[in-house]
Amino acid sequence: MIKFIKTIIYSSLFLNIIGAINAQSTNKLLIITTKEAYLKTVQEDGDKALVLIKKYVPSIKLDIKYATSQNIFYQKLYPKALAYVRLPVAKALAKVQEELKSKGLSLKIYDAYRPYSVTVQMFEMLPDTLYMGLPWTGSKHNKGIALDLTLVNLKTGKELKMPTPFDALVYASHPEFPLVSDEAKQNRELLKDVMKRHGFVVDPMEWWHFNYKSSTNFEILDLPFKTFE
């Protein structure tokens, strides 16, 4: 009987998800898909330029998970291990890194700008409406204003202990989840505090995901990395 009830519940959840997808898929998103259209937005507003994080923060560490098969999808989704963000995001990250350096720490970037088509691909492989970017709304990663990251010790190069690994789709990943070790909680709060001071807001579901606050309307982009080289 319990097994039957669980089956009904899971089936209902699945149908709700599919219904939401069908309902939302009719909404038209403004997605920039050509270099010419992208350059036009940059000409109108220089802050919309996508830049390499490394150019503005040379000391930052990169571990671009989706440029390898060592991720929850077990496949390589990016051709190169590059991290692009909008210009003001890069400048804000430089300030974060400067503050962390005084503490003997550094940021390590897991992911930054993500083409919209990759978000769609991810959702097709893992149609989770809690943790995945939603194709019908687009992701802030698609806008170049979201980052997945953590902290590392500058001397050892090792990551600081956090509540979960990157991309762990569990409750402990939530940035306010209380049942974690004191060390992990302290490191998580340190990361949240320093990012907040420089204009970032932590995602309510993932301690590693931060969105840059801005009044600028950054468009969704579906352009490969080579567009910005």
- For the stretch 55-107, pLDDT in tens is 999 999 999 999 999 999 999 999 999 999 999 999 999 999 999 999 999 99
What distance in Å separates the CA atoms of residue 187 and residue 53, rounded to the nearest whole number?
Answer: 23
Does residue 89 contact residue 212 with C-beta atoms inside 8 Å? yes
Query: Domain 2-228 belongs to what architecture?
Result: 2-Layer Sandwich (3.30)
First to last CA, the chain: 59
Please list, in sequence order, all residues whose beta carbon lies within 8 angstroms of the beta carbon of residue 138, skipping any fewer than 6 positions away: 29, 31, 116, 119, 220
Per-residue confidence band for 28, with pLDDT thresholds at 50, 70 and 90: confident
Nearest CA to 220 out of 151, 133, 108, 125 is that of 133
* Domain residue spans of the chain: 2-228
Quote the pLDDT of residue 60. Answer: 98
Quote the pLDDT of residue 177. Answer: 98
Structure tokens at 106: 């550094």
Q: How far is CA 216 from CA 48, 114, 115, 164, 211, in A?
A: 9, 19, 19, 32, 13
Report whether pLDDT(16) > 90: no
Per residue in 209-226, is it b (16+ CB within 10 Å) or e — as a string? bbbbeeeeebbbbbbebe
Quote the pLDDT of residue 23. Answer: 37
- Pick the range with the lowest mean pLDDT from 21-25, 68-72, 108-112, 147-151: 21-25
What distance in Å separates the CA atoms of residue 197 and residue 10, rounded to the nearest whole number?
Answer: 41
SS (H, E, C) 138-204: CCCCCCCCEEEEEEEECCCCCECCCCCCCCCCCHHHCCCCCCCCHHHHHHHHHHHHHHHHCCEEECC
Average pLDDT score over the chain:
90
Nearest CA to 140 out of 62, 220, 63, 204 is that of 220
Quote the pLDDT of residue 27. Answer: 63
- For the stretch 124-167, pLDDT in tens is 999 999 999 999 999 999 999 999 999 999 999 999 999 999 99
